[in-house]
């Protein structure tokens, strides 16, 4: 099994995906162990002094002015975890929780938190054992960290609360730790707070959304090309010299992908109209511009994610010169903004895909295709309601594009009076990515049927490879009306699995 080594300098997006989705094992580097021990020495020295130090010998947040006596400090750390583990609502996905825990471990290993080495090792042991704390949908405002989600994870570290075992069964965390020979952690000064203060949940969801969107943007280029073929559109608008004079990188990449898919097509540019088209509709002609803008948005979001993956997010932080300083690095604004930006781009990509589907189904705009791509229009309804479903998904995408980060709601007796709502931005982006997959699947279903209904003209070899692969995957071709939901589900699975991109790349080579 692949092993991810966590050191002092952060982790990569591929590390996060390996742990969250593929169950990679985790090891702590020797550098991390030394940094953990050194920072802990600083915290222990400060804890022994009579002067109060925030996070070490004081209360938290609006209660930071109270000095806590040594005999109460262990109780203080336990209490902050128990009281902050106040999430509600449905459980979040296993991969999100694993990413959340792994990214908190990343910050702990930076040597800026003051957590003991054995706490970090226990976090790694829990992940390696396949134990997943139960974390709920609601409880983070995206400031002072993803507090409730991280607290539920810290509760498992203490052997309290509920967690899911490697068998998928939810049980008391203490039982699961005991079965795997993991001793619960007795938290000491600073440690409870250090386990809660981070942007780890929203960052983990950003990393996974970027991975999913990378595949979906390639998929959208493919389905746009298939729709162009089915509509007998012109591929002249994809010429590299046209995109070179507006040098947005994403636009050029999308146009190149579409051109690669369409290479060798006999369908593009053949107009079956009494009045030949001078130019195609925007949803066809401007596909690279819209998808390209989304790709450039992803590039910016990836830069933000990389910076955050290299960060140590905690409050207070232990500095190399021995100071323990309060700060605001836990504020989720940088991550929240790009999460919202991605939801906007995804909504627009879904919207333009739906417009192409609608055009394929309208006999007045499809340039010779039967109404609704039906076998016997009137007796058969064809794909009429498949487009309804796609339109409903697009409508929800537009609602999900409303930014969460534009909101703020004060908390903690006005101490935390401006928050990022980054966790909420991440949660709605996950739904948006899920919906976008379905929207692209419906366009794929319509476009492949439209191409097959064009008799006498051969599609591009890459398009033919898609048609053969998607039919082999259980998505049926043209014919009389049938129970449509299974076909749409199979198309969704085909896109979601990456099979759409893979089928094209057998002909084109790797897409951009």
Task: With CA atoms as reference, report the closest residue to 206 among 143, 314, 297.
Answer: 297
Alpha helices for 10-169 (secondary structure H): 13-22, 30-47, 73-84, 94-108, 117-128, 147-157
Q: How far apart are the first and last CA of the chain?
A: 29
What dihedral angle (degrees, nearest 10) is formed by the CA atoms of 32, 33, 36, 41? -140
* Non-local CB neighbours of 19 within 8 Å, separated by 6+ positions: 4, 26, 98, 99, 102, 127
- Classify 366 as helix, strand or coil: coil
- Which secondary structure element, helix H or strand E, spans residue 354, and what is its range? helix 333-361
Pairing of strands 170-172, 3-6: unpaired
Annotated active-site residue in 54, 217, 337, 388: 54
- Give 370's Cβ-side CA count (13 Å radius): 20
Given a contact cutoff of 8 angstroms between Cβ atoms, the answer to whether 349 and 358 are in contact is no
Given a contact cutoff of 8 angstroms between Cβ atoms, the answer to whether 179 and 172 are in contact is no
Alpha helices for 137-286 (secondary structure H): 147-157, 173-179, 191-194, 200-230, 240-244, 249-262, 282-285
* Non-local CB neighbours of 127 within 8 Å, separated by 6+ positions: 19, 26, 98, 101, 102, 105
* Non-local CB neighbours of 241 within 8 Å, separated by 6+ positions: none
* The residue to which tokens 């929240």 are assigned: 336
* The residue to which tokens 């052997």 are assigned: 159
- Classify 188 as helix, strand or coil: coil
Task: With CA atoms as reference, report the closest residue to 318 among 27, 50, 53.
Answer: 53
d(CA 129, CA 299): 34
Longest dimension (CA), the chain: 91
* The residue to which tokens 């139960």 are assigned: 134
List, in sequence order, every residue forming a beta bridge with 164; answer none if it has no partner. 132, 170
What is the 8-class DSSP label of residue 459? Answer: P
Given a contact cutoff of 8 angstroms between Cβ atoms, the answer to whether 106 and 150 are in contact is no
Tokens of 209: 């959304």
* Non-local CB neighbours of 90 within 8 Å, separated by 6+ positions: 136, 137
d(CA 252, CA 238): 9
d(CA 7, CA 202): 21
Whether residue 138 lies in the annotated active site:
no
Which residues are marked as active site? 54
């Amino acid at each position: 099994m692949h092993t991810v080594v966590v050191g002092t300098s952060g982790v990569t997006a591929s590390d996060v995906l390996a742990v969250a989705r593929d169950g990679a094992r985790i090891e702590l580097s020797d550098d991390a162990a030394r940094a953990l021990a050194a920072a802990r020495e600083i915290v222990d020295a400060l804890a022994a002094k009579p002067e109060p130090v925030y996070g070490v010998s004081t209360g938290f947040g609006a209660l930071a002015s109270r000095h806590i006596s040594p005999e109460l400090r262990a109780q203080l750390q336990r209490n902050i975890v128990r009281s902050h583990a106040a999430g509600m609502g449905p459980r979040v996905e296993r991969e999100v929780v694993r990413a959340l825990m792994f990214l908190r471990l990343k910050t702990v290993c930076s040597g800026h938190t003051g957590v003991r080495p054995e706490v970090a090792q226990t976090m790694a042991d829990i992940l390696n054992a396949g134990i997943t704390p139960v974390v709920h949908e609601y409880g983070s405002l995206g400031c002072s960290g993803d507090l409730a989600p991280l607290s539920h994870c810290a509760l498992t570290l203490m052997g309290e609360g509920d967690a899911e075992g490697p068998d998928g069964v939810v049980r008391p965390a203490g039982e699961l730790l005991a079965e795997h020979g993991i001793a619960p952690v007795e938290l000491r000064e600073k440690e409870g707070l250090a386990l809660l203060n981070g942007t780890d949940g929203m960052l983990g969801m950003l990393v996974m959304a970027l991975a999913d969107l990378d595949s979906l943007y390639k998929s959208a280029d493919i389905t746009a090309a298939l729709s162009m073929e089915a509509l007998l559109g012109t591929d002249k608008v994809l010429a590299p010299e046209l995109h070179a004079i507006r040098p947005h990188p994403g636009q050029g990449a999308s146009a190149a992908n579409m051109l690669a898919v369409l290479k060798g097509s006999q369908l593009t540019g053949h107009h079956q109209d009494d009045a030949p088209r001078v130019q195609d509709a925007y949803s066809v002609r401007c596909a690279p511009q819209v998808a390209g803008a989304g790709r450039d948005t992803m590039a910016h979001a990836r830069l933000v994610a990389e910076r955050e993956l290299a960060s140590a997010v905690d409050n207070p932080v232990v500095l190399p010169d021995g100071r323990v300083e309060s700060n605001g690095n836990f504020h989720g604004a940088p991550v929240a903004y790009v999460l919202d930006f991605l939801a906007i781009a995804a909504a627009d990509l879904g919207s333009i895909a739906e417009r192409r589907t609608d055009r394929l189904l309208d006999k007045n705009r499809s340039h010779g295709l039967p109404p609704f791509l039906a076998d016997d229009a009137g007796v058969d309804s064809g794909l009429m309601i498949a487009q309804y479903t796609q339109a409903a998904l697009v409508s929800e995408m537009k609602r999900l594009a409303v930014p969460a980060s534009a909101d703020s709601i004060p908390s903690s007796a006005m101490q935390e009076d401006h928050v990022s709502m980054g966790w909420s931005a991440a949660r709605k982006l996950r739904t948006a990515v899920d919906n976008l997959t379905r929207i692209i699947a419906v366009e794929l279903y319509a476009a492949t049927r439209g191409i097959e209904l064009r008799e006498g003209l051969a599609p591009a070899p890459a398009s033919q490879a898609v048609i053969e692969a998607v039919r082999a995957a259980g998505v049926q071709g043209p014919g009389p009306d049938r129970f449509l939901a299974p076909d749409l589900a199979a198309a969704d699975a085909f896109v979601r699995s990456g099979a759409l991109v893979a089928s094209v790349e057998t002909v084109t080579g790797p897409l951009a």
